[in-house]
């Protein structure tokens, strides 16, 4: 019995080299036992491999090279003929977890030299078995491309995007090129129970197994992905069986969005019905404001309340679908809040502006940039707070092609209050900071001035008793004359700092 040891489970080059040498030496398949060096202590392959195990010198028992054929072997056969289609098939099939794959493929190779009709025999058992292995590997590779989910992990060199995946076969290294091309500018790593690969922006590194616990599960990237997933979920097109076919359940435990499926499915019929009843939208035509009653205490998604991140993503999807007031029917899209549940401080603005409406993110226009500067000066990380608005759609009047900001009225604030209350209930901030009078009124239910919070912040009664710090809206600072703005700036930053320190927000 000839024992052949490959360097590792994916040593396809080693298999090719050894198979070619064995073939040239005329060693028949039943005389060869294949194994993987690293797997010796784990699960040895069944069958003849056992006979090879005891010798400590096994690793040295390399098969003969092309030039050196050991004595006693049958007469050498002519140079092997290997069809290209076999090599392609073998490259995939060799990545299967089946311990018998090396022997199967060598047997096929051996038979290809001797059975001229084998290549065209679609029913040959060895061909079929090898094809089944290759197909399973292709499926696994496809699933890896589709179901790897990266999470953001802070490192001293900047964020690294890490993912945990459990491939069925030895497919990780074969997909490195795909992820490298796709995410060339990111620093990323994919960990599996067997091996890992990491890209540092310049080079790929292959490593050993890692632990699933190393992957963060509550990062901002995941929150954004859940929000996106919930917002593209179409309740009118729900087909759970088809969904499970494309996204097999065995992958669900590593897919953050899987936990949204049950609550989204549960709410689908109700949402689809509301979609059907809703009047069609006519762009840029003013309509009468219709205000839905606010139900802050009811909660839109009680089934998801055990998981605030998932519930928040679903609330965001509901916000996206809301047309309870004229703004909702006029704007490009709704702009929900941004940040993670548990953020100690929630900043509430008035309504999205032109840029926010186009980009779908709160505070990204000129006012947002000023706020970013103030947050930085106050030592507050934007990612550590939850940023939202009292009204979720951009309200404007058209002046030619220009969209001029229109301050939301009490009706819009009321229509959106259910969403703001949902966000507060799910994020559970210890402090609220109202940016401007609209936000203060939305949070407190009464009109208050910026100076109201100076003698101690008012509390939200009868809602939840939370303290509401009140300060200027960034647009108010933008409108101030330069010297006034300079004086107000220091006070504004101090207000942010006070709210943050009282809420113990992470800096």
Residues touching ligand URA, count (CB under 6 A) = 12
Residue owning tokens 């030496």: 25
* Cα–Cα dist 105/85, whole Å: 13
Instruction: Check binding of 341 to ligand URA (CB under 6 A).
Output: no
Q: Which two tokens stand for residue 221?
A: 């990237």
Cβ atoms of residues 336 and 454 within 8 Å? no
C-beta closer to ligand URA: residue 367 or 416: 367
C-beta closer to ligand URA: residue 126 or 350: 350
Interface residue with ligand URA, options 307, 350, 412, 495 (CB under 6 A) = 350
Helix (H, G, I), strand (E, B) or coil at 395: coil
Helix (H, G, I), strand (E, B) or coil at 206: strand
Instruction: Check binding of 352 to ligand URA (CB under 6 A).
Output: yes
* Cα–Cα dist 109/450, whole Å: 82
SS (H, E, C) 222-271: HHHHHHHHHHHCCHHHCCHHHHHHHCCHHHHHHCCCHHHHHHHHHHHHHH
* Cα–Cα dist 31/205, whole Å: 37
Q: How far is the CB of 354 from ligand URA (least distance, A)?
A: 9
* Cα–Cα dist 319/364, whole Å: 19
Are β-strands 402-405 and 396-399 bridged in parallel, bridged antiparallel, or unpaired?
antiparallel
Instruction: Check binding of 386 to ligand URA (CB under 6 A).
Output: no
Interface residue with ligand URA, options 353, 395, 429, 458 (CB under 6 A) = 353
Q: Radius of gyration of the chain from Cα atoms?
A: 32
Cβ atoms of residues 10 and 170 within 8 Å? yes
Q: Phi and psi of 206, rounded to 5°?
A: -105, 130
Q: Kindly indicate which of the ranges 160-168, 240-248, 302-310, 359-367 contains the residues binding ligand URA, using the contact rule CB under 6 A.
A: 359-367
* Cα–Cα dist 64/62, whole Å: 6
C-beta closer to ligand URA: residue 126 or 356: 356
Q: How far is the CB of 473 from ligand URA (least distance, A)?
A: 6
In a 13 Å sphere around the CA of 30, the CA atoms on its Cβ side amount to 0
C-beta closer to ligand URA: residue 220 or 258: 220
Instruction: Check binding of 389 to ligand URA (CB under 6 A).
Output: yes
Q: Kindly indicate which of the ranges 82-90, 173-181, 351-359, 421-429 contains the residues binding ligand URA, using the contact rule CB under 6 A.
A: 351-359
C-beta closer to ligand URA: residue 260 or 367: 367
Instruction: Check binding of 330 to ligand URA (CB under 6 A).
Output: no
Instruction: Check binding of 395 to ligand URA (CB under 6 A).
Output: no
Q: Kindly indicate which of the ranges 72-80, 99-107, 339-347, 352-360 contains the residues binding ligand URA, using the contact rule CB under 6 A.
A: 352-360
Q: Residues 6 or more apart from 459 whose CB is under 8 A from it?
A: 465, 466, 467, 468
Interface residue with ligand URA, options 363, 419, 472, 492 (CB under 6 A) = 363
Cβ atoms of residues 300 and 314 within 8 Å? yes
Interface residue with ligand URA, options 351, 417, 453, 503 (CB under 6 A) = 351
Q: Kindly indicate which of the ranges 40-48, 237-245, 303-311, 345-353 contains the residues binding ligand URA, using the contact rule CB under 6 A.
A: 345-353
C-beta closer to ligand URA: residue 210 or 350: 350
Instruction: Check binding of 468 to ligand URA (CB under 6 A).
Output: no
Q: How far is the CB of 334 from ligand URA (least distance, A)?
A: 12
Instruction: Check binding of 356 to ligand URA (CB under 6 A).
Output: yes
If one counts every other C-beta atom within 10 angstroms of the C-beta of residue 227, the result is 24
- Closest residue to bound ligand URA by CB: 349
* Cα–Cα dist 262/55, whole Å: 55
* Cα–Cα dist 94/232, whole Å: 39
Cβ atoms of residues 188 and 160 within 8 Å? yes
Strand partners, 467: 459
If one counts every other C-beta atom within 10 angstroms of the C-beta of residue 233, the result is 20
C-beta closer to ligand URA: residue 11 or 357: 357
Instruction: Check binding of 235 to ligand URA (CB under 6 A).
Output: no
Cβ atoms of residues 334 and 320 within 8 Å? yes
Q: Kindly indicate which of the ranges 161-169, 233-241, 266-274, 357-365 contains the residues binding ligand URA, using the contact rule CB under 6 A.
A: 357-365
Instruction: Check binding of 385 to ligand URA (CB under 6 A).
Output: no
Instruction: Check binding of 337 to ligand URA (CB under 6 A).
Output: no
Binding mask 365-384 for ligand URA (x = CB under 6 A): x-xx----------------
Q: Kindly indicate which of the ranges 132-140, 212-220, 224-232, 364-372 contains the residues binding ligand URA, using the contact rule CB under 6 A.
A: 364-372
Instruction: Check binding of 92 to ligand URA (CB under 6 A).
Output: no
Residue owning tokens 């402090």: 431
Cβ atoms of residues 337 and 388 within 8 Å? yes
Q: How far is the CB of 341 from ligand URA (least distance, A)?
A: 20
Q: How far is the CB of 349 from ligand URA (least distance, A)?
A: 3
Q: How far is the CB of 290 from ligand URA (least distance, A)?
A: 23
* Cα–Cα dist 199/184, whole Å: 8
C-beta closer to ligand URA: residue 28 or 407: 407
Residues near ligand URA (CB under 6 A)? 349-353, 356, 362-363, 365, 367-368, 389
């Amino acid at each position: 019995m000839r024992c052949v040891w490959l360097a590792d489970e994916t040593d396809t080059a080693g298999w090719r080299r050894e198979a070619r040498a064995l073939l040239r030496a005329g060693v028949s398949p039943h005389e060869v036992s294949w194994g993987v060096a690293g797997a010796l202590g784990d699960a040895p392959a069944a069958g003849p491999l056992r006979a090879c195990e005891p010798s400590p010198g096994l690793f040295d028992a390399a098969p003969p090279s092309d030039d050196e054929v050991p004595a006693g072997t049958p007469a050498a056969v002519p140079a092997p003929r290997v069809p290209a289609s076999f090599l392609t098939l073998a490259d995939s099939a060799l990545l299967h977890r089946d311990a018998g794959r090396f022997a199967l493929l060598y047997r096929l190779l051996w038979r290809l030299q001797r059975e001229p009709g084998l290549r065209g025999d679609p029913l040959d058992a060895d061909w079929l078995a090898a094809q089944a292995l290759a197909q399973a590997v292709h499926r696994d590779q496809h699933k890896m491309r589709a179901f790897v989910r990266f999470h953001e992990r802070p490192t001293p060199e900047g964020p690294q995007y890490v993912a945990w995946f459990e491939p069925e076969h030895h497919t990780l290294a074969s997909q490195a090129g795909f992820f490298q091309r796709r995410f060339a500018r990111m620093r990323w790593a994919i960990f599996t129970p067997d091996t890992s690969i990491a890209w540092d922006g310049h080079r790929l590194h292959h490593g050993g197994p890692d632990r699933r616990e190393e992957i963060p599960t509550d990062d901002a990237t995941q929150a954004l992905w859940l929000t996106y997933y919930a917002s593209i979920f179409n309740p009118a097109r729900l087909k759970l069986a088809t969904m499970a076919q494309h996204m097999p359940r065995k992958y669900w435990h590593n897919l953050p969005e899987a936990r949204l499926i049950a609550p989204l499915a549960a709410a689908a019929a109700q949402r689809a019905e509301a979609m059907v009843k809703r009047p069609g939208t006519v762009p840029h035509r003013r309509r009468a404001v219709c205000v839905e009653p606010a139900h802050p205490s009811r909660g839109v998604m009680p089934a998801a309340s055990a998981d605030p991140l998932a519930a928040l993503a679903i609330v965001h999807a509901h916000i996206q679908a809301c047309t309870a007031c004229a703004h909702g029917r006029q704007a490009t899209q709704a702009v929900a809040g941004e940040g993670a549940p548990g953020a100690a401080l929630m900043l509430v603005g008035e309504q999205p502006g032109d840029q926010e409406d186009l980009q779908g993110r709160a505070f990204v226009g000129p006012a947002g940039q000023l706020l970013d500067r103030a947050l930085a000066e106050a030592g507050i990380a934007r990612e550590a707070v939850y940023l939202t608005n009292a009204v979720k759609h951009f309200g404007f009047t058209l002046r030619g092609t220009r969209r001029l900001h229109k301050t939301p009225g009490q009706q819009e604030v009321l229509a959106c209050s259910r969403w703001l209350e949902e966000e507060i209930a799910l994020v559970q901030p210890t402090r609220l900071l109202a940016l401007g009078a609209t936000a203060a009124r939305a949070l407190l239910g009464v009109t208050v001035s910026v100076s109201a919070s100076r003698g101690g912040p008012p509390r939200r009664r009868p809602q939840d008793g939370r303290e509401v710090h009140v300060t200027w809206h960034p647009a108010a600072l933008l409108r101030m004359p330069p010297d006034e703005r300079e004086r107000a700036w220091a006070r504004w930053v101090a207000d942010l700092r006070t709210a943050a320190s009282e809420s113990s927000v992470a800096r």
